[in-house]
Chains A and B, each alone.
Chain A
Amino acid sequence: MKTTRRQFLQGAMAGGAALTLGATPPEAQARPNLTMPPKALGLLYDSTLCIGCKACVAACKESNGLPPEFSTEDHLWDTAKDLSGKTKNVIKMYKDGNGTQKDRETDGYAFIKHSCLHCVDPSCVSACPVSAMQKDPVTGIVSYDEKSCIGCRYCVVACPFGVPRFQYDTPFPKIVKCELCNHLKTGDKYQYSACAQVCPTGATLYGPTDLLMQEAKRRVALKPGAISKFERGQIGSGNTHETVVKAQYLPRIYGDHELGGTQVLKISAVPMEKLGMPELPERSFASISETLQHSLYGWLAFPAVVLGGLVIAAKRTSRPDDEDKV
């Protein structure tokens, strides 16, 4: 059976084209962004109210039983510089020029809280092959179950916020991320997200995301010099303090649309990208990835058709009397 060059190239080209087409998804089975759960819980972080006291960082460690992390010579103080396998919540600082005035972009400084944003359509949940990352259908809290986890770290590399962290220094490692203190029981020292419960200024406020959104909108509309009441702890607590608005809020509410929205919202007077929050599109990465996977593998229909063709081709080519066949 001789084959000409022409026939060969035709075969190769056709095969390549077929495989290319096969691996390209039709748009029909698009999986849209997930939507906000009915009783979504979250946090509102207000950079202008934050005084950088890090009470939230300490309370988070206490509430979650996490060890201190040292970055100074004497190893005396918990001084986590970033999220890590030991730290679920951290306050970072933006500084420009001489850094003299709070909440000013040039020659100023501002604080930013880093912890899980509890995405409406989280990449980590979509990525996890063993359902160790779960989004609660009611509260929307993205939780992690170490008993399920295989430690593949797909969540770590996939999260665009760099939230899930891994423990590289132990033979029995876990993923570490904020779970909005969903482990708390009545009688515990903390009754809701420890970071919000201890925040002295109401910079971190806990509550239902829809109410937090209302409060965020109210705050960003405030003008400098106005006197306003700010709630502390959780929304509806009635624990308020009155203060003068010192900074000009930017109208942006971070988390209102990023990847289809997040349950943790952030507002500030310094642009979010300066504070280290990434610019992200509205369409969630999870929905793009799952649309592709469902198009290719939904009901295994496409692989089944291809397998049928392959088996017929293989049967036609192979002969049972052929001793040498592998």
Chain B
Amino acid sequence: MSSHAEKTVPLGGPLITPVTLTLAALTGIAAVILLIRFIFGIGAVTNVNDGYSWGIWVVYDVMAGSAFACGGYAIALMVYIFNKGEYHPLVRPALLGSLFGYTLAGASVIFDLGRYWNTWHIFMPPWAQVNSVMFEVAVCITLYIGVMWIEFSPAFLERFGRKDLKQKLSKWMFLFIGLGVLLPSMHQSSLGSLLIVFGTQINPLWQTLMLPAIFLMTAITVGYAVVIFESCLSASGFKRPFELDLITRLSKVMWGFLVVYLVMRSVDLTWRGAWGEAFKFNVMALCFWIEMMGFILPVILLAKPANRRRPDRLLISAVSLIVGTLMLRLNGFLIGYNTGPGWYYFPSLPELLVTIGIIAAEILGYIVLVRWLPILPKVEPAKTAR
């Protein structure tokens, strides 16, 4: 368990670079568009309409964005629950990605809420409507963001030299770790359950009581995919050694989850007799297969254990899974959603720029924090040669 005791240190280095400046500019553009949205209304900058009232600000920023932020959850599930202490060097970077992904997903909800000044009603007894799936999602995501900041606080406490507080907190950390696994399990599955009440408006390829399991399993697998993706980027972007040994073993777990997922998805489609929809000559069937290929491809690419040591295969698998997970959410909420004839939706440019700005803010925050706080494992000279 040598890696378990590995030290994390601030990366240091310049904060103002062409990359960070570009990211800041993209964030700024999004901020200006959002200002227009808050002055003139949602329709002033987006293409959402009464047929497709939820656009990419909901389906990408919240649904997909929070799934992509499941790295911390997926790693925590493995490290603490499967008792795999050796993944420890991955915990803090993954948790940071999750912290940013979720905080921004949570914050970006406000941009899309028409009557955002009433948001607090969700948490208050006279208004809170416990039968609503949306209620469950909102409460769970909010709690999880709080739990993640607590889980992450040792990094801040180290930076500010508060070892005493850090030690007190560490005695109770197991409680927050437990919550940090429970809460995402609850709301990631509920993001799927949101679709149940849509009923027959959703194509049978995506309308099933297995939705909570489908969304949960894909959130976990994409969590691992994002960790692999981040490791690859971090290795090339920050010129750090690639954590190949850990990533290889992590990809085994991911592969196992993927096989379970595909079996479950196929059995469910067979059970409900929904396969016919997949072989129609239409956009829904096409998008279904793009989604499915996103999950099937990594299963094939990483089937041989030897291939799990090949960074190219790992990266392609991770990207493929990210695409599949995104497609599942787009399919369920937009492409497979038929609200009647005459409706059409494709995001407007300002709408896309806000989503891009949110992603940019996320990457920018990640870069700034790993340079400033002890998040990434210290690179020993001996290990660099690995």
Contacts and interface: CB of A to CB of B under 8 A. Distances in A.
Interface of A: 1, 3, 5, 8-9, 11-13, 15-17, 19-20, 22-25, 82-85, 123, 126-132, 146-154, 156-158, 160, 162, 165-174, 259, 276, 278-281, 285-286, 288-290, 292-294, 296-297, 303, 306-307, 310-311, 313-318, 320, 322-326
21 contacts: A5-B305, A8-B252, A8-B253, A11-B82, A12-B255, A16-B261, A23-B189, A23-B216, A24-B213, A82-B50, A83-B50, A123-B197, A129-B122, A150-B119, A169-B41, A278-B340, A289-B196, A296-B193, A314-B175, A318-B174, A326-B154
B41 A148 contact: no
A146 B85 contact: no
Given A1-B1, A5-B252, A23-B212, A15 B82 contact: yes
Contacts of B171: 320
Given A15-B81, A151-B115, A314-B80, A129 B196 contact: no
B50 A166 contact: yes
A10 B350 CA distance: 47
Interface in B206-235: 209-210, 212-213, 216-217, 220
Contact of B179 (A132, A146, A307): A307
B363 interface: no
B80 A127 contact: no
B116 A126 contact: no
B79 A16 contact: no
Nearest to B252: A8
Interface in B153-206: 154-155, 170-171, 173-175, 177-179, 181-182, 185-186, 189, 193-194, 196-201
Contacts of B170: 320, 322, 325
Nearest to A315: B174
B217 to A, nearest CB: 6
A20 B81 CA distance: 16
B114 interface: yes
Given A17-B260, A129-B122, A160-B199, 5 more contacts: A123-B199, A169-B40, A297-B136, A303-B182, A311-B175
Interface in B14-43: 38-43
Nearest to A318: B174
A11 B128 CA distance: 38
A168 B51 CA distance: 12
B186 A303 contact: yes
A13 B163 CA distance: 39
Contacts of A148: 118, 121, 127
Contacts of A147: 118
Nearest to A21: B213
A173 B40 CA distance: 10
Nearest to A13: B256
Contacts of A281: 199-200
Interface of B: 1, 4-8, 38-44, 46, 48-54, 77, 79-86, 88, 91-92, 95, 112-116, 118-119, 121-122, 126-136, 138, 151-152, 154-155, 170-171, 173-175, 177-179, 181-182, 185-186, 189, 193-194, 196-201, 209-210, 212-213, 216-217, 220, 249, 252-257, 259-261, 264, 305, 337, 339-340
A151 B116 contact: yes
Contacts of A170: 40-41
A285 B80 contact: no
Contact of A154 (B84, B95, B134, B181): B134
A323 B173 CA distance: 12
A123 B118 CA distance: 22
Contacts of B135: 129-130
B212 A173 contact: no
A9 B303 CA distance: 12
Q: Which of A8, A9, A25 has the most CB atoms of chain B within a 10 A radius of its CB?
A: A8
B342 to A, nearest CB: 8
Q: For B114, B118, B182, B201, which residue has the most chain A Cβ atoms within 10 angstroms?
A: B114
B72 to A, nearest CB: 9
Given A83-B50, A286-B197, A326-B151, A307 B178 contact: yes
B122 A130 contact: yes
A16 B256 contact: yes
9 smallest beta-carbon distances between A and B, as pairs: A151-B114, A12-B256, A168-B43, A16-B260, A285-B199, A311-B178, A151-B115, A310-B178, A289-B197
Given A23-B216, A154-B132, A314-B174, A13 B259 contact: yes
Contacts of B83: 1, 313, 316-317
A293 B5 contact: no
Nearest to B1: A1
Q: Which of A23, A25, A173, A320 has the most CB of B within 10 A?
A: A23
Contacts of A162: 50-51, 339-340
Contact of A149 (B7, B118, B134, B196): B118
Contacts of A314: 80-81, 173-175, 177-178, 181
Contacts of B50: 82-85, 156, 162, 165-166
B174 to A, nearest CB: 4
